[in-house]
């Protein structure tokens, strides 16, 4: 079986039979009012895309980190998550992760181990900081952080040499790191709805390097 689409089926609970579909590569369980996912999900070793968005999940089973083939998309948005198991650092082939609309106060450090990530979406959370280890995401091209509580960014952001876009809209950012100037491919920084940023000349220097900065 290539794909199992159970989107918006009012399940409440995932049927046990789903965990027997060991050949499934795409599993969509979005919008089902789920409050938990069975550890048996670890049996789905062929999964490449998993959609758990638009549910009521407060936890993710550790066994998800054992699905090393999960490489295309992992959607966890619009739940009530505030942490992730450290085991998710095992998803070293994953290219797209969406954590938006949850309750994260900090970006889980296990994400820094997902070194194949190309796009990370963590908008509409409660994050006050990013970990220094975010600089390990050397393939990251898009970083979406709109509507959090970030006052600054770590200097290690300057190690994201593939980064093209960073969305910081609606954050209480007071200063930007000089290391942004070290990103050769950066072409868009979105700072709209940021009313706290001081004028240290960095924005104009970014623009001088060809980066579009929205204020």
Average pLDDT over residues 7-15: 97
* Higher per-residue pLDDT: 198 or 93: 93
Q: pLDDT tens digits, residue range 131-184?
A: 999 999 999 999 999 999 999 999 999 999 999 999 999 999 999 999 999 999
Rounded to an integer, what distance in angstroms lies between the CA atom of residue 48 and that of residue 41?
Answer: 13
Average pLDDT over residues 189-207: 95
Is the pLDDT at 40 greater than 90, yes or no?
Answer: yes
Is the pLDDT at 187 greater than 80, yes or no?
Answer: yes
Average pLDDT over residues 188-211: 95
Average pLDDT over residues 29-57: 98
- On whether the CB atoms of residues 74 and 100 are closer than 8 A, the answer is no
> What percent of the chain has a predicted confidence (pLDDT) above 90?
98
Phi-psi sector, 87: left (phi>0), alpha (psi -120 to 50), beta:
alpha
Give residue 199's pLDDT: 86
Is the pLDDT at 1 greater than 90, yes or no?
Answer: no
Architecture of the domain whose range is 3-127: Alpha-Beta Horseshoe (3.80)
Q: pLDDT tens digits, residue range 75-117?
A: 999 999 999 999 999 999 999 999 999 999 999 999 999 999 9
- On whether the CB atoms of residues 155 and 179 are closer than 8 A, the answer is yes
**Phi/psi of residue 23, each to 5°?**
-95, -5
Q: pLDDT tens digits, residue range 63-79?
A: 999 999 999 999 999 99
Is the pLDDT at 13 greater than 90, yes or no?
Answer: yes
> What percent of the chain has a predicted confidence (pLDDT) above 70?
100
Rounded to an integer, what distance in angstroms lies between the CA atom of residue 111 and that of residue 134?
Answer: 8
Q: How many C-alpha atoms does 53 have within 13 Å on its Cβ side?
A: 18
* Domain residue ranges of the chain, discontinuous segments joined by +: 3-127
Degrees, nearest 5: CA angle 97-80-196: 75
């Amino acid at each position: 079986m290539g794909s199992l689409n159970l989107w918006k089926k009012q399940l409440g609970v995932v049927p046990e039979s789903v965990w027997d579909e060991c050949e499934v590569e795409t599993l969509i369980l979005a919008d089902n009012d789920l409050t938990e996912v069975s550890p048996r999900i670890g049996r789905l070793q062929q999964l490449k895309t998993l959609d758990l968005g638009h549910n009521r999940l407060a936890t993710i089973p550790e066994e998800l980190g054992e699905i090393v083939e999960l490489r295309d998309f992992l959607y966890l948005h619009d739940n009530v998550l505030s942490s992730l198991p450290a085991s998710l650092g095992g998803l070293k082939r994953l290219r797209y992760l969406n954590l938006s609309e949850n309750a994260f106060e900090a970006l889980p450090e296990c994400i820094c181990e997902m070194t194949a990530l190309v796009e990370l979406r963590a908008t509409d959370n409660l994050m006050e900081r990013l970990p220094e280890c975010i600089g390990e995401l050397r393939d990251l091209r898009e970083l979406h952080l709109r509507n959090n509580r970030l006052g600054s960014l770590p200097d290690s952001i300057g190690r994201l040499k593939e980064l093209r876009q960073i969305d910081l809209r609606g954050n209480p950012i007071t200063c930007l790191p000089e290391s942004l100037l070290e990103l050769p491919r950066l072409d868009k920084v979105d700072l709209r709805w940021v009313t706290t940023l001081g004028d240290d000349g960095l924005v104009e220097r970014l623009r001088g390097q060809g980066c579009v900065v929205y204020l």
